[in-house]
Each structure stands twice: as C-alpha cells, then as structure tokens.
Amino acid sequence: MNRFHVLIVVLNLFSLVGCVSHPQSAEEFRKAVPGAFSATVETFEVDRPFGQVASTFQKMGPNCLSKTIKTTSRTTTSYQVIVTTYKPTVLVRGKKAELHVQQHHEQGVINVSKEPAGGYYLLVADAQPVTQTKTRIDLYRPSMGHSVLIQAVKNWATGENVGCPDLTK
Amino acid sequence: MTRFSPRRLLEKRCTHGRRVAVTLLLCAASLLSACSGIKTYENNFNKNLHVHTATDSGSWFSRVHAAVDIHRVGEDCALDYEGTVELTGPATEIGIPPDRRSYLVFVFNSFSFFSNRSGTITYETLVKPRSNHHYDAAASYKNDLYHVMIREIPPDRSASRELDRLALSSCRSSSDRK
C-alpha cells in the first residue's frame, strides 16, 4: 500500500465517519468549500479584461479538460490503475464567467457517496470584471493535490504560460 | 593447413554467442513492438507539417516522451491508424496527405522513476491540409503543462493563421449534415 492508497482510504473514511454527502451542483460546491477539510477558496485579481479571461476559459476548458486519463502506479507489492474522466463546463452569462471541473472515476476508486451527473465537483472558478482592465477570480479548489490543474486555471486567468495541465500528475 | 588455436576457437564461440544474442534481442524487440500496436508512420508524402518540439520533465527523476499518431479519417469518420512519428528532436518533418482529413494525436508520455508512476496525456485534432500549404506545429511540455498549436502558412508565406482544435465529433456532425 503506497501513500496514495493511504490518502484515498483516509479521505473515504472521513466521508464515512462524518456522513458527508458531496455537493451535487456548482452552487452547493461553492457553499461547501469554505468549511471543507480538503478544499479552500482563493481570491485574486488579474490585470486582464474580463472578456479575455472568459474567452480563455471557453477555449482552454473544453480543449484541455474533456479527457479520460489512465494512470498506473506500481510498487513491489501493488499495481494500481485509475481511470478518471474529467468534465469541464464553461458558462458565460453577462458579467460572470464560470468554469466548473468535475471528475468521475471509471476504474480504481470506490465512491462512497452519491455522485452528481458528470462526476464529483473538483474545482469551480468564477471570473467577474472589477474594472475595464482587471478581473476578479474566485477559485474554489482542493487544498491538497491537483496542483497542476490549479496552476493551469490560474494561468488561463492571468494569460501567462497558457497551456493544458497534465492530468496524470 | 590451419593449425588448432584455442584462442581462435574462443573468439569464434564469442562471435557466435554475440550473433545469437543480437538475433534474440532483435526478435524480442520486434515481438514487443508488434504487441504494443505501435507502428512507424511511413512518412512518404511531401513534408508539409513541421513540428517543433520542446519537452522538459522538470526533474532528474522523470522523463517525458513526445510522439504524434496519425490516423486516416474515413468518409464515415472512422479512424484508421497509419502510424506514429516519434518527436525525439527539436524539429520533425512529417508528410500529411493533403485535401484529405487526418486525425493527429500528440502524445506526451511521462514516467517518474522515483514514484514508479507513468501517465499518458494526449492532444487530438482533426486536420485537412490544403495543397501547397505548409503547417507549423509547436508541441511543448514543461512544468507539467503541455501546449500544441498548429499554424497554416499559405504558399506565398503571407499571413498565417492558427488552426482551431477540431474534435472528432465535428467530423461526425459535418457528415450528418450531408
């Protein structure tokens, strides 16, 4: 059993012990994150017009995150294959752009609570204009792991080093 | 008349042993490559796609390998795998059949020696290269972020344009409209 297995077991035990039900919508996810053990809210401003941030979300979200990823890890005593499907949703309505990222484990992880359609919510990023040239980002994200995804979404907001995250990491 | 020489006999045996070993290795390698399903793209067409590759795993304990799979797209949008081009150097020239749809899959394979984990991430797009046009692709992987961009350059080398990524579903939807 490697550290990754231990983390998954511990997280699932937390869910069981606390009888935690996972958020079933982006709005429920936003409300749940501030009090959650393994998630946090990060707010920052970028020197970029709202329209540009929204169009980057619209372009990069589907291009980079509509993926099914297979990862394998081996130790001397174990061999694990995890297959995960990610689902991005980008909504641009008036002066707000939203990026939702959901994940569904096809193989290798046992789910212990009801999963919403499209998978568990992993990250939500809200963009709103502050001025003509500045945009505020509210990032509801995991506080452990998924650093590559988080960094990629931040880069999409700032417009610097824009690329797709290697979701196998 | 040849004289018996133990040294010569030993050399002969060694040479024979090496030949057997090399033959066995070649057999094993061809068997493995056949089993993996990867075949080398024949690359016979005029070289119209120039791929600039830059990969950096960011660690001594991991490596990233890049390649591009080329698929022929049939009338019914079915894919027919034509082969793989390894993107080992900074620049690779590939011939993609013009005026016909192809499906390009850029593959970034990473492996970490430290955690013994491997993963493969891909960037796929439909292309239909135009005759006499050239295409410049930049495929990069750095700090766990990857980026693929393809630009179309007309014959007179005037203004180039970035090609939008086209999913395979766009082929199906255009076929449905016909």
Domain ranges of chain A: 3-158
Q: What is the pLDDT of residues B42-101, one digit of tens each?
A: 998 899 999 999 998 878 888 999 999 999 999 999 999 999 999 999 999 999 999 999
B145, A166: Cβ pair inside 8 Å? yes
Q: Is residue B43 part of a domain?
A: no
Question: Which domain CATH number covers B57?
Answer: 2.60.40
Q: Is residue B42 part of a domain?
A: no
Q: Which residues of A51-70 are buried (b: 16+ CB within 10 A; e: fewer)?
A: eebbebbbebbebbbebebe
Q: Which of A106, A24, A103, A27 is nearest to A66 (CA)?
A: A103
Q: Looking at the structure, do residues B63 and B143 belong to the same domain, yes or no?
A: yes
| Predicted confidence (pLDDT) per residue in A22-33, tens digit | 899 999 999 999
Co-location of B2 and B67 in the same domain: no
Number of domains comprising chain B: 2
Name the nearest CA neighbour of A20 among A38, A6, A40, A7.
A38
Residue pLDDT, tens place only, B100-138: 999 999 999 988 887 777 788 999 999 999 999 999 999
Domain identity same for B70 and B154 = yes
Q: Are residues B107 and B22 in the same domain?
A: no
Please indicate, yes or no, whether residues B77 and B150 belong to a single structural domain of this protein.
yes
In a domain? residue B9: yes
If asked whether residues B76 and B152 sit together in one domain, one would say yes
| Interchain pair B117, A161: CB under 8 A | no
Q: What is the pTM (predicted TM-score) of this model?
A: 0.78
B89 touches chain A (CB under 8 A): no
Q: What is the ipTM of this complex?
A: 0.79
Contact B116 A73 (CB under 8 A): yes
Q: Tell whether B9 and B60 lie within a shared domain.
A: no
Q: Which residue in A155, A164, A168 is closest to B119 by CB distance?
A: A168
- Are B154 and B76 in the same domain? yes
Higher pLDDT, A50 or B27: A50
In 3D, which of B119, B121, B152 has the Cα closest to residue B134? B152
Task: Give me the domain span that covers residue B19.
Answer: 1-37
pLDDT above 80 for A103: yes
Residues 108-167 of B with CB under 8 A from A: 108, 110, 115-123, 140-147, 165, 167
pLDDT at A15: 47
Residue-wise burial string across B95-128, b where 16 or more C-beta atoms lie within 10 A, e elsewhere: bbbeeebbbbbbbbbbbbeeeebbbbbbbbbbbe
Chain A residues with CB under 8 Å of B119 CB are 69-72, 166, 168-169
**CATH of A3-158 given 3.40.50, 3.30.530, 3.40.720, 3.90.79:** 3.30.530
Q: What is the distance in angstroms between the Cα of A128 and the nearest Cα belonging to chain B? A: 25
Residues B30 and B112 both lie in one domain: no
Residue B99 sits in the same domain as residue B56? yes
